[in-house]
Structure 1
Amino acid sequence: MSLRDIVLSIIILVAGLYALRRAWVGVLFWTWISTMNPHRYTWGFLFSAPVAAFAGGIALLGLVFTKERRSPFIGTPVIIFALFVIWMTLSWLMGHDVSGDYFQWNKCIKIYLMIFVTLALLQTKEHIMAFAWILIGSLAVLGAKGGFFTLTTLGNYRVWGPPGSFIEDNNEFALALIMTIPLIYFLQLQVVKKAWRTILSIVMLLCAVSAFGSYSRGALLAIIAMGGMFWWRSPRKGEVAIFILIVAVAMIPMLPEQWWERMDTISEYQTDGSAMGRLNAWGVAWEVASHNLFGGGMSYQYLDYFLLYAKYDHIVRAAHSIYFQILGNHGFIGLFLFLLLWITTYREAGWLMRNARSNPHTLWAAQLGAMAQVSLVGYATGGAFLSLGYFDFPYNIMVLVVLAKKWVTSEGWRNLESGEKY
């Protein structure tokens, strides 16, 4: 038993007890554990302890006993999300291997259940901002840690995410950080102290360095797309342009030769076995969806399907694409619902940006909408090359957007908030 295990256990127990008194704090507790996975950085008993189950149980108890809850169905994206969850469950039940896919379905349904719990318990601006700080801060801390590691090792080693999490792999971790950068900028717009603004600027820089240090080709494409969108959506285009320039000037000279060699394979996909394997898996996903209304279930990665539909080889591989992952798993209807969810979320974020910016009391919501759009562009671009269709971070961005719109259309217009920045 290490000292780290003991200290973190005390923090978790105290946070859990405090959350029992305030139901909405239970949501923050769960978000911290599920996003940052702090217990995965211990070396003793806590590493494999059911910490996430404990946090989730606390949040569910709060939902049951509190009177301060509402219907979670507070926006079009949430309705579509609910339909997607139902279709995902039907797809699993009608899939290729119901018992074998149970673990993945159970893992996803727990995460999605907590999305609905979050929507039911968070109501005020205080709740929304606290949730944003916990959600974004959890990944920002990991990004800063990875960025520092990349700088101290001169980029000669890859950066990895929390063990046993959705973003354990270097590619997935890089995309999560890329999505986090514009949201850190949103938080920076909410603070008034120069010291905190400086700290958050450094954290954004370290997250970008960490993403480069992952050696992820998909992340490189995502950060280019997000960078352009980030500049376009920012109210301070000069500052953002300088930030992007600093990242480029700081990173390009220090990136080792093996990093450039890996990036060169983007234009040579025909000779890259990994890339051709992805194209092969995408073709199998298309054929599985074409022949099965519900898709393959929670996975289409079965030898039967690859023997039947593969064109390049018969090696079973993951899709490495949110689009083909959902298509192969849940068919064309599942993919339609998945795409519609993110399109409507993007549009709701745009509504915030247009309708909340003229009122000082709702300006924060407009800034959130703008940066949420940037983050979603990063997810849409980088996700084309990663199997992160069930990753909870973008779903939590959807939560932030619909909660902010709900607040703006009710309390926001009445000027019930002080409008002071956090």
Structure 2
Amino acid sequence: MFKIREQGSSVRTEILAGLTTFFTMSYIMVVNPLILKDAGVPFELSFMATVIATIVGCLIMGLYANYPIAIAPAMGLNAYFAYSVVAAHKGLGYENAFSAVFVAGLLFVILSLTPLRTKLIEVIPGSLKNAITTGIGLFIAFIGLRLSGLVTDHPSNLVTLGDLHSPQSILTLIGLAVTLICLALRIHGALFIGMIVTGMVAFFMGQLKFDQGIVAVPKLPDSLVVFNPIDAFSDVVQFGLYAVVFSFLLVTLFDTTGTVLGVAKQAGLMKDDKLPRAPRTLIADSVATLTGSMFGTSPTSAYIESASGVATGGRTGLTAVTVAVLFAVASFFMPLVGAVSGIAAITAPALIVVGSLMVGHVTGIRWDEIDEAFPAFLVILSMPLTSSIATGIALGFVAWPLMKVFRGRWKEVHPLVFIFGILFLFQLIFLPH
């Protein structure tokens, strides 16, 4: 089913990759409900919705698309939902806001069944594809540095070196050293080994505690938050959520597209600069978004943390299925997951190392051509600085066709790139992001 041998992998490697991806992204089970709680969503409701949406997305991605890419509620979109949608619209409850997510998810499913999104992946210029992968690498490395405390806020310079004597920084440096030594010695599963060792050290240092116990029986919601399309569309019309639906649709569309391309390129899964079975990856994300909205969570996206599993050797859908199984099991261990997720130093080294590996794709950019180089530079620079993959892609899509026009090479630009460049320009100027 997964064609593991054809991809030069093994069952053990794929399961290990799934474990690595799971531990790297498991924080979403705690962080997502905490953010949505600010919108009035009950923690237990959004926790189970997060788990369910992730399981659905990963199973479709693994069994149907056969890619080692995990799907889960997207960071950034959850904050947008809580603070720019619910909080910004007077009288809007979270139930009505989820109607906008439902409508966006429904449109997303319909779009995924058409050739448009697959065609979009094919027409993205090569320089932008390499820039997206590189930008994601810098982004996730920066996330690792920030979460670990190795880099902290600075009043005038924005960021600066953190306190290297803090427990989090020490743990991160230990994990980074263990991971890099294992990579240098070509030990398989280096990232996972680094996380296990860091977790053990954190426990003996007294940083990792299990105050809330380890096991808790998960509670399924009594009813769906959204289930009637007519009511959902009615809420969008009543509260004027058209711009919200458009933002969710556009950002999710390109966030996932960029991440899938970046991770697939990192894994060497691209064929002739095209992604086989691309429509199936899109269906996985769109169905997960639709399902998540029904149970009570914000839109999903392909996770950049999947790159950690790919770096461990994951090449097939078994990696994604392993993530789905682990999320299902983890739903019974909410206290344990919460404790581990609260120690950023356990996963930060993996993010930093994977980021360094992905930055290697910068060599695929034609730096001697300004119309190729500057849009790519804009993508790479903006992703970590704006903390948004979608914003980086948007700026690239706006700059690339403009540079081609000014250089008299407008014939090299596919019409779809022009169309989405205009849409992104509109979104950047007029819509919240």
TM over 0.5: no
TM-score by length of 2: 0.21
Q: Which has the higher helix share?
A: 1
Query: Higher RCO, 1 or 2 (CA under 8 Å, sep at least 6)?
Result: 2
